[in-house]
Structure 1
Amino acid sequence: MSATLTTWYLELTAPGELRPAAEPAREAGLRIVRAEIPSGAFGRFLYTAVGGDCSWTDRLPWPPERWQGHLERPGREVWVAYRHGTPAGYMELDGQEEGAVEIAYFGLLPESRGLGIGGHLLSYGAARGWDLADRWPGRPATRRVWLHTCSLDGPYALANYRRRGFRVTRTTVSQPVG
């Protein structure tokens, strides 16, 4: 019998609720950059590199053209953390209807975990969620930044979200598929 899967839905409803993490020391060589040219191949690389050991499987069957089309959608942004020029993690923002912005995917490559990068990357991403409408004319102002995580994700994910000010709004428990 398989273990249960717990999923937590969390949100911020005002920019002032965000409690930013400290920036890593300059020696960490960390830069966060928006991938301004949508690339399905790069998106798939990030997804598999970060989620490979966290059971991220929902997008694995996507063909290249679906990856590309997905990342080209207006209001969709990918932000990448680089540590000394090497990808360390990423987040995908999804501008949704009525001013909601989902942090659809967020995580670090295994070799970059435990270095203090996750809190800073999440802080940066949540802040970018609040100013998403500034980069996409015609989008409504952000009223809510939200995400979800589950018991298959990294052991520090939920605690990181809560430390940044995200509040749990809903919890579901189910049997995992597979």
Structure 2
Amino acid sequence: MAEQTIWYLEMRDPDAHRARALPETFTVTECEIPQFALNRFLYELVGAQWQWDEKLEGDQNAWRAMIESDAHRTFVAYYRGAIAGYFELYRPDGINVEILYFGLVENFIGMGFGAGLLSHAIDQAWRWTGTERVWLHTCSLDHPAALENYQKRGFTIYDEEIAPC
């Protein structure tokens, strides 16, 4: 059976963030009104290339409830009017923000947007009143530069595991 490495990363201090600016032609907008269909679309649009499929096969009602909760926020990134990527923040305990999903649409990878979008996600997580920690996980199936981007922005690995693909 094929295996993957999963890394868990965290940032416990906003001063650890080594930010990169978004390009001027790149905008990010928060979806202040939750729309489950939009989140599902973004998940498929960004995640198809990385085999994100666990949410598509699971309980859609539980997924919808999470997206519609006050503990969840969605941000969409645009480049020249086209959706270029997105991220979701999730903070069910009121203090630990998970960057739940983060990524670029396939044809926008390699254009230098990843570091700026990740920095924007980190900034939004720390600006969420009450945040004490920002965390995420990635795996060896992700883009080859993903782990390095997270570490360059100031995240540190706190756990690692080997799991089946």
TM-score normalized by the length of structure 1:
0.87
CA distance in 1, matches of 2:155, 2:141: 19
Q: Which residue of 2 aligns with 1:171?
A: 160
Q: Which residue of 1 aligns with 2:66?
A: 70
For 2:70, what is the secondary structure of its paired residue? Answer: coil
Structure 1 contact 104–147 (Cα < 8 Å) conserved = yes
TM-superposed deviation, 1:67: 4.2
Structure 2 contact 71–94 (Cα < 8 Å) conserved = no
The answer to whether residue 16 in structure 2 is matched with residue 17 in structure 1 is yes
CA distance in 2, matches of 1:143, 1:8: 20
CA distance in 2, matches of 1:169, 1:66: 28
What is the identity percentage for the equivalent residue pairs of Structure 1 and Structure 2?
40
Q: Which residue of 2 aligns with 1:136?
A: none
Give 1:42's match in structure 2, choosing from 38, 44, 51.
38
Distance change >3 Å, CA 169–CA 64, structure 1 → 2: closer
Q: Which residue of 2 aligns with 1:126?
A: 122
Unaligned runs of 5+ in 1: 134-140
Structure 2 contact 90–98 (Cα < 8 Å) conserved = yes
The answer to whether residue 140 in structure 2 is matched with residue 151 in structure 1 is yes
Report the AA paired with residue 14 of structure 1.
D
CA distance in 2, matches of 1:131, 1:160: 21
Unaligned runs of 5+ in 2: none
CA distance in 2, matches of 1:70, 1:61: 16
Report the AA paired with residue 51 of structure 1.
G
Q: Which residue of 2 aligns with 1:6?
A: 5
For 1:97, what is the secondary structure of its paired residue? Answer: coil
TM-superposed deviation, 1:37: 1.1
CA distance in 1, matches of 2:30, 2:52: 22
TM-score normalized by the length of structure 2:
0.94
Structure 1 contact 7–151 (Cα < 8 Å) conserved = yes
Structure 1 contact 44–67 (Cα < 8 Å) conserved = no
Report the AA paired with residue 131 of structure 1.
R
Q: List 4+ stretches of structure 1 deviating above 6 A.
A: none
CA distance in 1, matches of 2:97, 2:2: 31
CA distance in 2, matches of 1:152, 1:172: 13
CA distance in 2, matches of 1:47, 1:175: 22
TM-superposed deviation, 1:68: 3.2
Structure 1 contact 38–68 (Cα < 8 Å) conserved = no
Structure 2 contact 96–134 (Cα < 8 Å) conserved = yes
Structure 1 contact 34–77 (Cα < 8 Å) conserved = yes
For 1:89, what is the secondary structure of its paired residue? Answer: strand
